């Protein structure tokens, strides 16, 4: 089962290596990892998606909490979160194929951000499942390159994950 875990950490050098080192050291399988600074510049937020059972998630949370730089760890249930991942895709596209591709892009809520005589570059930001569907639709044209940011997630409604003052 996939688990989305949000981690608030001190925003200073070496923290990311401590967190990522822990995954390999303890044998956790990580699907994605995204990190960025929060509203409080002294705090970074890491979002990880991990694959495993309940035991693994409990251990992962406990081991993350044990790191001195970790301020808060919160596992987000699938029904309480909104998640997004940004993907940039460069596909092969002859001028004749452009309008066809544009239709798919518009229907799927993506955007063309660059074009060349032989390629088009598309930006799409959505859930991982939606990104996968889009990739299937675009695959027949010939995918040249894919770059993705990893999943970030936030809670639905008024709930927040913040540092206690």
Partner 1 sequence: MIKAAEAMVKCLENEGIKVVFGYPGAAICPFYDELSHSDIKHILVRHEANGGHSASGYARITGKPAVCIATSGPGATNLLTAIATAYMDSVPIICITGQVCSDQIGCDVFQEADITGAAEPFVKYSYLVKNAQDIPRVFKEAFHIAGTGRPGPVLIDVPMDVQQTMIDFEYPETVSLRSYKPSAKGNALQIKKVAEAIKAAEKPLICAGGGIFLAHAEKEIKEFAELTGIPVVSTMMGLSVFPTDHPLYFGMIGMHGVKTANHAVGDCDLMILIGARVGDRAVKSPSWLEENTKIIHIDIDPAEIGKNIHADIPLVGDCKCVLAQLNEIMEKQNTEPWLEHLREYRSNIPEKPAEKVFTDPKGFLKKLSEAAPDNTVAVADVGQNQIWACNNFKVKNGRFLTSGGMGTMGYSVPCAVGAKLADPSAEVIVICGDGSFQMQMMELATICQYNVPVKIVLMRNEYLGMVRELQTRMYADNRIAVSLGGDPDFVALARAYGISAERVENNEQADEAIKRFLSSDKPYLLEVMVNETESTL
Residues within window 72-131 making contact with partner 1, judged by CB under 8 A: none
Q: At what angle do helices 128-138 and 98-107 cross, to 10 degrees?
A: 160
Q: Which residues pair with 39 in a beta bridge?
A: none
Region of 16-24, 30-38, 78-86, 94-102 interacting with partner 1 (CB under 8 A): 16-24
Give the residue with the Cβ less far from partner 1, 59 or 127.
Answer: 59
Q: Which is nearer to partner 1, 46 or 93 (CB)?
A: 46
Q: Among 39, 35, 43, 40, which residue's Cα sits nearest to residue 10?
A: 43
* Residue with Cβ nearer partner 1 (107 or 163): 163
| Binding window for partner 1 (CB under 8 A); candidates: 57-65, 80-88, 92-100, 151-159 | 57-65
- Which of 56, 120, 66, 64 is CA-nearest to residue 94? 120
**Contact yes or no for 3/57 (Cβ under 8 A):** yes
Neighbours of 45 (CB within 10 A): 23
Part of the chain binding partner 1 (CB under 8 A), chosen from 8-16, 75-83, 124-132, 146-154: 8-16
Kindly give the residue spans of alpha helices, DSSP state H, lying in the chain: 15-25, 54-66, 98-107, 128-138
- For residues 53 and 106, which CB has a smaller minimum distance to partner 1 in the complex? 53
* Site of interaction with partner 1 (CB under 8 A): 9-10, 13-14, 17-18, 21, 25, 55, 58-59, 62-63, 65-66, 68-71, 163
């Amino acid at each position: 089962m996939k688990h989305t875990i949000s981690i608030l950490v001190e925003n200073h050098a070496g923290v990311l290596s401590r967190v990522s080192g822990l995954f390999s050291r303890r044998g956790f399988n990580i699907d994605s990892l995204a990190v960025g600074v929060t509203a409080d510049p002294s705090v970074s937020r890491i979002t990880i998606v991990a694959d495993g059972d309940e035991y693994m998630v409990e251990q992962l949370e406990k081991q993350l909490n044990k790191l001195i730089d970790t301020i808060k760890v919160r596992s987000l249930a699938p029904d309480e979160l909104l998640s997004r991942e940004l993907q940039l895709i460069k596909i092969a596209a002859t001028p004749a194929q452009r309008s066809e591709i544009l239709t798919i892009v518009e229907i799927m809520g993506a955007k063309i951000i660059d074009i060349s005589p032989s390629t088009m570059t598309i930006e799409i930001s959505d859930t991982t499942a939606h990104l996968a569907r889009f990739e299937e639709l675009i695959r027949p044209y010939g995918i040249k390159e894919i770059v993705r940011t990893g999943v970030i997630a936030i809670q639905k409604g008024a709930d927040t994950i913040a540092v206690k003052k």
